[in-house]
Structure 1
Amino acid sequence: MAKSTRGTIKDFPAFKANDDAEALRKAMKGLGTDEDPIMKILTSRSNAQRQQISVAFKTLFGRDLVDDLKSELTGKLEKVIVALMTPAGLYDACELKHALKGAGTSEHVLIEIIASRTTAEINHIKKVYKEEYGSELEDDITGDTSGYFQRMLVVLVQANRDPDSKVNDSVVDQDAQDLFKAGELKWGTDEEKFITLLGTRSNAHLRKVFDKYMTISGYQIEESIDRETSGHLEKLLLAIVKSVRSVPGYLAETLYSAMRGAGTDDCTLIRVMVSRSEVDMLDIRKEYRKHYGKSLLQAIKGDTSGDYRNTLLLVCGGDDE
């Protein structure tokens, strides 16, 4: 998959897998663990390089690096380090599987990942999910969700969104009219129209539809969704609209929500920070600063502590004050 240049973590220039493997073994050997080199090495190497370190570690010492890290670290620090050691597509697949299994479904995890990933990323996640768990992501979603929420997720997982080059102005007008008729003009809401258009049109096309919708109705599309739908479907439709407008903007809001109020949603904080560290973390930082009046770095400093905080700060990669 294409590498983004908007990440805070990139390939380490003078990379030597064996040297890193030896340094990590030394940090974990004997009594007590030296967390500092673990944090510094793993946050300054790309995911591809971390996988090479893992291979080198097994070759040199006959031990599994991730198993050793799990046995030496605890709590939130362990979670973030293990997340960094997981290949990107597999990490998303693991988070989705975890959200779908057990007593309750973590709908917010399904919404965040599936609404914000590109068509290519969704296809990669589906492939890895099948390899790892022996079942289709779509089947597991269908078995664990229901109603229009389920149908919107299934449409997104098909990953058949038009390419961005496909924008037809006459279709833009029609789509905006259709959404207006399906929502504001209708007694009750025609959810299927929202599902089809928001799940299949290109992002560039939808941005024009949203502008046209505002002209026709006098409302932002988000306001209409807020009024016309509720529950998990509303949250999913809003996440799609926000991601169409700006994925970094949507994920900056997700981080803000994770750190707002009493108690931090550390699982969301770790997931967004790690999964976007090589994709668009610089853009997420910019959006965070613009919308919330302080830098992401300062927010993390105020909301976390210890080596866990230090690891997240290294992933964040700098201040924007």
Structure 2
Amino acid sequence: MNAVVLALLVTIGILTSAVAGPWLLRHSAPALVHIPRLAALILTTSVVLWLLAVLALGPMTAWIISGPAVLPGQAAEICQRCLVSANPLGGTFVQTGVPAVLLLALPALAALTVVARAMQHLRRRRRILRGLFNEISAISTRGTMAGYPVLLTNGLEPTAFALPRKWGGIVISTGALALLTPEKRVAVLAHERAHLRQHHHGIIGCIESLAHSLRWVPLVAAAADALPHYLEIAADDAARRRTGTTAVAGALLKLGDPLTSDAQKNLPSNAGFLLHAAGPQRIRHLVAPVSARGGAGPAIATVVQLAVLASISGGVVLPYVTAAVNGCT
């Protein structure tokens, strides 16, 4: 196949995955809700692999085109030798006025920019979570409940949520304790404990921060938005294994949805950063889950898409790494 045609097909494939990815994720949901932890991994991998595939377009294009040398003589010679050594296509095919080094430098600069903005977003998130902990700890007492360390807050509002372990962990209000039976309390605590044990705060923090600069990409936005849903289902499943379906569904029904329930108006500021054991929208999955069969096809297509993106990024990066290890010979 002509190398230029191959490059065009790869570019079209990456663009198609960006646009069609949300449709695949949405129609995969009936299957993915049955494997929420794997679903979270698929969503996370989708964001990372798509970004790597895009960044690989520059180095791949550098194999196809040739342009003027802009580096000093010896540096240009070394760069050209490395390009030739890494090139699996057998040489350049198009003469242009674009320096090959630019095709290598721009993706590297873009990657540094995305990472820098992600780190900035992570620092902001940590400041907010630290502030939430300070706000909550001022009105809470530490204790142990059903074997779980908790922060107990005084208030009639039935709230229960998890902060990262270093900033408080499980938080539950006296209003929630009054509303829940002992079995439902254990279900809530087991749910929140699962968030901590499975490192959900770290997962969602990294993906949200990485997606911060890429929300304009439909695939990235869809994956970042769907991730909290699957993490909550994963925590529900862990709680169900501890206490049974009835206790978990009953606790969800009692606590209500923190986004809509009038009883949740007094949640701390920036509550969007919390992972919480509430939300009747998940009860149906617990008591009457949909068949996974309907989402099997899109789920398989999603995995195939990930394999293609991995092949693109790996197929470009590995020759460069091999060339560098071998001294560009």
Q: Which structure is higher in RCO with an 8 Å CA cutoff and minimum separation 6?
A: 2
Q: From the two aligned structures, give the one with the greater strand fraction.
A: 2
Larger radius of gyration: 2
Q: TM-score by structure 2 length? A: 0.26
TM-score, scaled to structure 1: 0.26
